[in-house]
């Protein structure tokens, strides 16, 4: 009979290890949201960050001052914001950076400059598209080939942009060609730049569209390099400053799990330890000591028979037949290796 019990424990243990797991999933149709699986969302980028940050991804749906950003550590991602930031929120970002955090700010024609002004930085997003002689399909998709940082350039022949702006007032790690045009000005402009701030750093990128699902396949090698370069967990992703943010659907995904040999070994070991605990008599010794302790704690007259104690316990809701059986087994030593 005991063998059957131990076999059942093994089966249940292995089932819990390999059984499919259902996980709730929320989706959105907001541009640049990591919860948006459509063409203009960043769900593929979010999935990549999930692996880069060891799964420590935290979407932020509230103002930074109520979220308590200044007390956090890690990376704050702001991508394609189109709502303003309060002075209290910018103060939170400032303290987050001073304490060693990283801000990754991706913007083109939105409100990213509010943050840069509030932090007292000279860098700005131009807010105007640029044109270049190097492009992918048409002039709306210029190609960057001047990537100065070797870590960002690894296995990358070029980065394809999508109606981008440029950075001004700062040097950079990635540049346009020398004949890029912003308005009527020909020059070479940075598209990505890194600036130190306190114990932390600010990383600017002037085209958030590089990271949307529709562009991901064209720029995957660069995006992977950028994720390794810029992010360390946990990663806080700003969803609160997308004006039309919404969660329009909830669903579930089923994760199929499998157990490796090490996990199976630990399941067997756990069941074996249970068997050893029971068969050695330790389990019943624990029961005996517990009953003795209960007998001492319960009010009773000196010399009161055990049967009387059992009856009083049964009046309090305990099963009398089970209690009497346990007493008999302890007295005969049957469960302790003494009786037959």
> pLDDT tens digits, residue range 43-53?
999 999 988 76
Using an 8 Å Cβ cutoff, are 165 and 206 in contact? yes
Q: What parts of the chain have a pLDDT lower than 50? A: 21-25, 249-255, 301-302, 335-340
pLDDT of residue 15: 57
Rounded distance between C-alpha atoms, residue 330 and residue 336, angstroms: 8
pLDDT of residue 66: 92
Q: Which two tokens mark 60?
A: 């932020």
Q: What's the number of CA atoms in the CB half-sphere (13 Å) around residue 65?
A: 7
The CATH code for residues 29-243 is 3.40.50
pLDDT of residue 311: 72
Dihedral sign computed on CA atoms, order 219, 221, 223, 226: negative
- End-to-end Cα spacing for the chain: 17
> pLDDT tens digits, residue range 149-197?
999 999 999 999 999 999 999 999 999 999 999 988 889 999 999 999 9
Using an 8 Å Cβ cutoff, are 192 and 174 in contact? yes
pLDDT of residue 29: 81
pLDDT of residue 325: 74
Residues in CB range of 130: below 8 A, 6 or more apart: 142, 164, 165, 166, 176, 180, 181, 182, 189
Domain ranges in the chain are: 29-243, 301-335
Assign 3-state DSSP to the chain and report helix, strand, coil percentages, each to 5.
40, 20, 40
pLDDT of residue 2: 57
pLDDT of residue 23: 41
């Amino acid at each position: 009979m005991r063998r059957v019990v131990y076999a059942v424990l093994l089966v249940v243990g292995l089932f819990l290890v390999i059984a499919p797991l259902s996980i709730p999933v929320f989706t959105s149709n907001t541009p640049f949201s990591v919860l948006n699986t459509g063409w203009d969302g960043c769900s593929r980028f979010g999935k990549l960050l999930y692996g880069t940050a060891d799964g420590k991804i935290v979407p932020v749906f509230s103002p930074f001052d109520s979220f308590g950003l200044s007390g956090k550590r890690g990376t704050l991602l702001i991508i394609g914001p189109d709502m303003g930031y309060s002075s209290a929120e910018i103060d939170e970002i400032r303290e987050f950076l001073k304490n060693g955090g990283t801000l990754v700010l991706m913007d083109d024609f939105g409100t990213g400059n509010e943050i840069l002004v509030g932090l007292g930085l000279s860098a700005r997003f131009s807010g105007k598209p640029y044109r270049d002689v190097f492009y992918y399909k048409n002039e709306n998709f210029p190609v960057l080939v001047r990537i100065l940082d070797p870590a960002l350039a690894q296995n990358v022949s070029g980065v394809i942009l999508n109606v981008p702006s440029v950075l001004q007032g700062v040097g950079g790690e990635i540049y346009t060609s020398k004949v890029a045009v912003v308005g009527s000005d020909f020059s070479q402009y940075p598209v990505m730049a890194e600036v130190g701030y306190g114990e932390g750093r600010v990383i600017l990128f002037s085209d958030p569209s590089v990271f949307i699902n529709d562009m991901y396949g064209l720029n995957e090698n660069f995006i992977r390099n950028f994720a390794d370069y810029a992010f360390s967990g946990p990663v806080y992703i700003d969803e609160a400053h997308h004006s039309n943010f919404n969660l329009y659907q909830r669903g579930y995904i089923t994760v199929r799990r499998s157990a490796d040999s090490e996990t199976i070994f630990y399941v067997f070991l756990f069941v074996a330890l249970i068997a050893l605990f029971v068969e050695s008599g330790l389990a019943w010794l624990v029961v005996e000591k517990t009953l003795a302790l209960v007998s001492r704690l319960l009010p009773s007259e000196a010399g009161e028979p055990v049967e009387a104690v059992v009856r009083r316990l049964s009046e309090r809701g305990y099963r009398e037949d089970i209690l009497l059986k346990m007493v008999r087994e302890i007295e005969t030593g049957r469960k302790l290796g003494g009786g037959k």
